[in-house]
């Protein structure tokens, strides 16, 4: 399911194809989370989480409040510290303590791994807090695809490529309008000629 999840918590399920920049903009009182539906085979990612900061102590309690009823009590999470300035050992969440660990090269830097004792393990793409809403919407949908085969880092690379392509297309459109309205003034031949004099040998000198 793809959803903007309020801290109530209630799930407002949406088809990933209907995600837009507008639906990615949640209010400050809601959790920005997208979960993949059950598929015929496990996907590499179980969804995406778009936190509002890189503060695990501030962000994890809201995530646990929603996921505990869905997946069972989340007892441990692990991150790659590349994008997390502080990795606390424990974070108090509703009714229990969540243990936090980290891995270096063993864990994708854009992934959060969650474990529920005796229930299972899940992997979420972590969308950087500063991501623009349009890119975040695309990442939410892509990470929630039950047939997805891309890693978290690969999805981030694809999102960056999409953004670059969109910027290039916009630049080309602006140039086309500029040219259709007269474009840039061409260099003045008389001005260039006046700026050049020759030496006795005939070599041009500016």
Give the orientation angle of helix 133-143 with respect to helix 152-180, to 10 degrees. Answer: 140
Q: What is the pLDDT of residue 86?
A: 97
Judge whether 93 lies within some domain: yes
- Contact in structure between 33 and 11 (CB atoms under 8 Å): no
pTM of the predicted protein model: 0.70
Judge whether 155 lies within some domain: yes
The total number of residues shown for the chain amounts to: 206
What is the number of structural domains in the chain? 1
**pLDDT tens-digit readout, 23-54:** 333 333 589 999 999 877 778 999 999 999 99
Distance between CA atoms of 156 and 146, rounded to whole angstroms? 18
Token pair of 84 as six digits: 């997390």
**DSSP class of residue 200?**
T
Judge whether 184 lies within some domain: no
**pLDDT tens-digit readout, 163-175:** 898 776 665 656 6
Which residues are CB-neighbours of 32 under 8 A, at least 6 positions away? 4, 5, 24, 26, 49, 50, 51, 52, 127, 136, 140
Judge whether 172 lies within some domain: no
Judge whether 156 lies within some domain: yes
Distance between CA atoms of 110 and 61, rounded to whole angstroms? 19
What is the span of the domain harbouring residue 111? 2-164
Judge whether 46 lies within some domain: yes
Judge whether 147 lies within some domain: yes
Judge whether 55 lies within some domain: yes
């Amino acid at each position: 399911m793809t959803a903007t999840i309020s801290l109530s918590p209630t799930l407002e399920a949406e088809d990933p194809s209907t995600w837009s920049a507008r639906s990615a903009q949640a209010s400050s009182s809601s959790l920005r989370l997208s979960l993949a539906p059950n598929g015929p085979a496990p996907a590499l990612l179980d969804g995406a989480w778009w936190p509002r900061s890189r503060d695990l102590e501030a962000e994890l309690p809201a995530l646990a409040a929603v996921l505990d009823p869905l997946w069972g009590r989340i007892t441990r999470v692990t991150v790659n510290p590349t994008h997390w300035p502080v990795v606390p050992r424990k974070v108090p969440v509703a009714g229990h303590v969540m243990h936090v660990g980290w891995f270096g090269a063993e864990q994708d830097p854009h992934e959060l791994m969650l474990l529920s004792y005796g229930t299972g393990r899940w992997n979420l793409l972590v969308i950087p807090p500063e991501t623009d809403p349009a890119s975040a919407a695309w990442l939410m949908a892509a990470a929630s695809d039950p047939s997805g085969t891309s890693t978290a880092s690969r999805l981030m690379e694809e999102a960056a490529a999409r953004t670059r392509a969109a910027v290039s297309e916009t630049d080309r459109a602006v140039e086309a309008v500029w040219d259709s309205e007269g474009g840039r003034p061409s260099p003045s031949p008389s001005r260039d000629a006046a700026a050049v004099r020759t030496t006795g040998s005939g070599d041009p000198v500016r």
